[in-house]
Structure 1
Amino acid sequence: MDSERHSYRTKRSKILCLHGIGTNSDIFEAQTAALRHRLGDDIDYDFIEGAHPWPAAPGIAETFGSQQVFYSYLDGTAQGAVEAINALEQYAEDAGPFDAIIGFSLGAALAATLLLRGGSQTAQPAFRSAVFLSGTLPGDWDLLEKGVMGFLQANQVKAPIQIPTVHAWDPQDPDHPGQSHELLQMCCEKNRVPVQHGAGHGVPSREEEVGALAAAIKGMLASLD
């Protein structure tokens, strides 16, 4: 079985996808449709649905319709955050390995929290690379384990994320100003690629911005070979 998986992965890339809070996997598929089209047909995407029903994020119901259920990976508690991180790690181990993880907003924060929590648990990350779209601050694992909701700042990170990363954000993000840049600083400088856009706290849709992001992701995936 291991040899069959290796043979499969030499032909195609496999990417895990995490949506933002107050959306769902179908919406994230729609939000990333143009990007995935530009990335080509040799990638398989695995979209994970959040476990907790949640109010729609601003503008989501108006754009995608209100007759659906919106989700969050977190329930708003520290214990729930720990459970979500552990569940993500277990899923990645069971369904992976993955060449990359793509997370938007909370999805990016969830992935970064797993990658930053340190110790032997992340010595062999389940993702070979990561794409953070309008990423927000990751959780502080030490605080979460103590039952306290807390978030990391870049100056608190002792061991940055080492895998290749692509960061796409709007410097004028009105919802979470400065957080994507903080996340950028939590990643190894030589392995990170910043891509700025003008889509606010969203996934870029303008052709030139989507093209720039796709090129960065293609370059990142190529570097894994």
Structure 2
Amino acid sequence: MPPKILCLHGSGTSAAIFNIQAIRLSRILKKQFELVFIDGFIDTGPGPGVLPFFEGMEPYKRWLTDTVGQEERPWSDLERLVEIFNRKGPFVGVIGFSQGAKAATHLIRWLEERGQQLGFVALFGGTVPFRLKVNTEEWPELIKPTIITRSIHVIGDDDPWRAESEALMDHYDKPSRSLIRFKGGHHMPVDADINEKLAELIVKYHKESDDFP
């Protein structure tokens, strides 16, 4: 059986939609990995850029409540994600887009707090946990301790959530993280060279994780 990667979609989409959005990267990764796409837990409206292309692909889902003034702390459904992670795994890494990157960060931190570490996490256009606290006095405490799992942060130059994606990196240990920027907005990269580079980095981190104790 090939090693598995857990894939978490953005808010207002679904596992099926993310499977399409990530098709360029997944075509490369599927040569060596099994990608497991799962649905978020909460029904919601369509997310940014979902319509009209994905019209009729309801229900649209999200992972948690993080609208302005309503950041969910702690995330009540984290244990549900952990249960799926354990039941459908084992996984060697996680890919998350937008709010899925936020959910992935909560999951990776939960695992590390219990002595578990994956080979990598790849975060695309991620929104940051506790985003309403960025640049406040509380922010330094929220991002400690930093996550040591190898992380790949993929950020579009024109992404309206670019600042949040950059703030998300504060949750990850600097020596263990990589940053890839691309020309584009809040979407998965479409450039073939970028996807090849991403796949090479994911394979590299996976192979290096064999050395973990």
TM-score band (shorter)?
0.7 to 0.9
**Equivalent residue number for residue 140 of structure 2:** 155
Contact 1:21 1:72 (C-alpha < 8 Å) held by counterparts: yes
Match of 2:22 among 25, 32, 36: 32
Residue 115 of structure 2 corresponds to residue 124 of structure 1: yes
**Equivalent residue number for residue 208 of structure 1:** 193
* Shift in CA distance, 81/203, structure 1 to aligned 2, threshold 3 Å: farther
* Shift in CA distance, 132/151, structure 1 to aligned 2, threshold 3 Å: farther
* Segment of structure 1 superposing worse, 108-117 or 79-88: 79-88
Residue 41 of structure 2 corresponds to residue 48 of structure 1: no
Contact 1:18 1:108 (C-alpha < 8 Å) held by counterparts: yes
Count of aligned pairs between the two proteins: 203
Match of 1:87 among 74, 77, 80: 80
Contact 1:160 1:187 (C-alpha < 8 Å) held by counterparts: yes
Identity %: 25
Structure 2 residue identity aligned to 1:98: F
Q: What is the alpha-carbon distance in structure 2 between the residues aligned to residue 126 and residue 188 of structure 1?
A: 13
Structure 2 residue identity aligned to 1:110: A
Structure 2 residue identity aligned to 1:88: L
Structure 2 residue identity aligned to 1:181: E
Structure 2 segments unaligned to the other structure (5+ residues)? none
* Segment of structure 1 superposing worse, 41-50 or 16-25: 41-50
SS of equivalent residue, structure 2 residue 154: strand
| CA RMSD between the two structures | 2.4
For residue 14 of structure 1, report the CA deviation from its aligned partner. Answer: 0.8
Q: What is the alpha-carbon distance in structure 1 between the residues aligned to residue 146 and residue 109 of structure 2?
A: 7
Q: What is the alpha-carbon distance in structure 1 between the residues aligned to residue 181 and residue 65 of structure 2?
A: 30
TM-score by structure 2 length?
0.84
* Segment of structure 1 superposing worse, 159-168 or 32-41: 32-41
Structure 1 segments unaligned to the other structure (5+ residues)? 1-7, 141-149
Structure 1 residue identity aligned to 2:124: L
For residue 173 of structure 1, report the CA deviation from its aligned partner. Answer: 1.3
TM-score by structure 1 length?
0.80
* Segment of structure 1 superposing worse, 20-29 or 158-167: 158-167
**Equivalent residue number for residue 156 of structure 2:** 170
* Segment of structure 1 superposing worse, 104-113 or 90-99: 90-99
Structure 1 residue identity aligned to 2:75: V
Contact 2:4 2:33 (C-alpha < 8 Å) held by counterparts: yes
For residue 164 of structure 1, report the CA deviation from its aligned partner. Answer: 1.0
* Shift in CA distance, 134/160, structure 1 to aligned 2, threshold 3 Å: same
Structure 2 residue identity aligned to 1:71: K
Q: What is the alpha-carbon distance in structure 2 between the residues aligned to residue 121 and residue 208 of structure 1?
A: 32
SS of equivalent residue, structure 1 residue 83: coil
